[in-house]
């Protein structure tokens, strides 16, 4: 009898140890389907090493077998700014609120280029990566996040270029200066990322069913640029039309960015809060839609 009790005790202990050991060895746990509105952001953090690898891959692949490499991050905004200065500054003679035209357009180009890159690069997530998504599992949100970070490298280079030109213009006596709004700079960048990422993943979720939306994105981004004070100041717009332009969340962000580093720009706390809430709402809607589509996109893409 005593031997039987000892045997049972040892058996229970062995089973318990096997359960503990199996729990320690498994890296993934199969669970019931969660509601489509529930976002598992902790899983995205666990795959942060994959995000780093994808960022490195994108950066290397982008400049592999090129002559100038990362210098294109400098050449592209300089050429765009030069064209804007000639066309809109010298020919059309659009006002720039007393800011040197070249610096005014370089400021707008730097800010806008990053937003446009975030939107266009994430808008093609499902269609461009369907061959990977159908074979390997990882949080699908890893792809758009890595693309936003990759675009951030170019933004950092262009921002440094803009600061160099602004410093040179200030030393030469240009009527520019830093303002209190420079303290909002990290928030401005974050809101810009939220809006670009949110809009991009909304489009990517829709392109799984309607592929022709991919061709509309680039055209839509160009139209959106003219609805944002990138090549003109908000003060140029008649007062009765300004509030309609301010419904675009990018308007307040662009003007605050210009106010921060050049000392001229529109800022209203109510419109700024509206822009922040709009960016947050777009990101939440985009992530919910993305989370819902990623479960079934292989059957529709």
Domain count, the chain: 1
Q: pLDDT band at 262, cuts 50/70/90?
A: very high
Domain extent, residue 51, equals: 41-300
Task: Say how far apart CA 272 and CA 139 lie, in whole Å.
Answer: 33
Establish if 221 belongs to a structural domain. Answer: yes
pLDDT at 301 over 70: no
Specify the pLDDT at position 66. Answer: 61
Is the pLDDT confidence value at 122 over 80?
yes
Alpha helices in the chain (DSSP H): 2-25, 41-46, 48-63, 72-84, 101-122, 125-128, 130-133, 142-171, 185-207, 213-226, 239-246, 249-262, 269-293, 297-300
Query: Who has greater pLDDT, 301 or 114?
Result: 114
C-alpha to C-alpha distance for 258 and 253, rounded to whole angstroms: 9
Tell me whether residue 148 is in a domain: yes
pLDDT band at 59 (very low <50, low <70, confident <90, very high): confident
CB atoms within 10 A of CB 171: 8
pLDDT band, residue 249 (cuts 50/70/90): very high
Determine, yes or no, domain membership for 194: yes
Residue 296 pLDDT exceeds 70: no
pLDDT at 91 over 70: yes
- What's this model's pTM, rounded to 2 decimal places? 0.81
- Find the DSSP H helices in 208-247: 213-226, 239-246
Domain presence at residue 28:
no
Distance CA 134, CA 49 (A): 21
Q: Are 109 and 81 in contact (CB under 8 A)?
A: yes
What would the pLDDT profile of 216-242 be if each residue is shown by its tens digit? 888 888 889 999 999 999 989 888 888
Mean pLDDT of the chain: 81
Residue 114: count of CB within 10 angstroms of its CB: 22
Q: For residue range 163-189, what is the model confidence (pLDDT) as tens digits?
A: 999 999 999 888 888 899 999 999 999
Q: How confident is the model at residue 299 (pLDDT cuts 50, 70, 90)?
A: low
pLDDT in tens, 23-46: 455 555 555 555 555 566 677 778
Give CA–CA dist 22/19, Å, rounded.
Answer: 5
- What pLDDT, on the 0 to 100 scale, is given for residue 37? 54
When pLDDT is averaged across residues 60-67 and rounded to a whole number, the result is 66
**Biggest alpha carbon–alpha carbon distance for the chain:** 104
pLDDT tier at 139, thresholds 50, 70, 90: confident
User: What pLDDT is recorded for position 20?
Assistant: 45
């Amino acid at each position: 009898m005593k031997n039987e009790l000892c045997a049972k005790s040892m058996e229970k202990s062995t089973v318990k140890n096997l359960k503990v050991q199996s729990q320690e060895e498994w890296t993934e746990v199969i669970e019931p389907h969660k509601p489509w509105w529930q976002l598992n952001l902790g899983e995205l953090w666990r795959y942060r090493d994959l995000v780093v690898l994808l960022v490195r891959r994108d950066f290397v692949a982008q400049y592999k077998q090129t002559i100038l490499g990362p210098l294109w991050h400098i050449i592209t905004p300089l050429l765009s700014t030069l064209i804007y200065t000639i066309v809109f500054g010298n020919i059309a003679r659009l006002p720039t609120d007393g800011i040197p035209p070249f610096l005014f357009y370089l400021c707008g180009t730097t800010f806008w280029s990053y937003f446009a890159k975030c939107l266009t690069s994430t808008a093609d997530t499902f269609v461009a990566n369907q061959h990977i998504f159908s074979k390997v599992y990882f949080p699908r949100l890893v792809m758009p996040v890595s693309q936003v970070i990759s675009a951030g490298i170019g933004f950092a280079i262009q921002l440094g270029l803009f600061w160099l030109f602004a410093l040179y213009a200030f030393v030469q006596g240009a009527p520019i200066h830093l303002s209190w709004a420079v303290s909002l700079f990290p928030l401005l960048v974050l809101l810009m990322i939220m809006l670009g990422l949110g809009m991009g993943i909304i489009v990517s979720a829709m392109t799984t069913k309607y592929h022709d939306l991919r061709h509309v994105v680039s055209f839509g981004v160009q139209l959106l640029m003219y609805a944002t004070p990138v090549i003109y100041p908000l003060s140029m717009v008649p007062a009765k039309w300004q509030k309609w332009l301010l419904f675009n969340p990018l308007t307040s962000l662009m003007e605050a960015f210009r106010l921060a580093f050049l000392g001229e720009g529109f800022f209203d706390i109510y419109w700024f809060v509206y822009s922040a809430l709009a960016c947050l709402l777009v990101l939440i809607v985009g992530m919910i839609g993305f989370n819902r589509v990623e479960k079934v996109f292989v059957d529709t893409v």
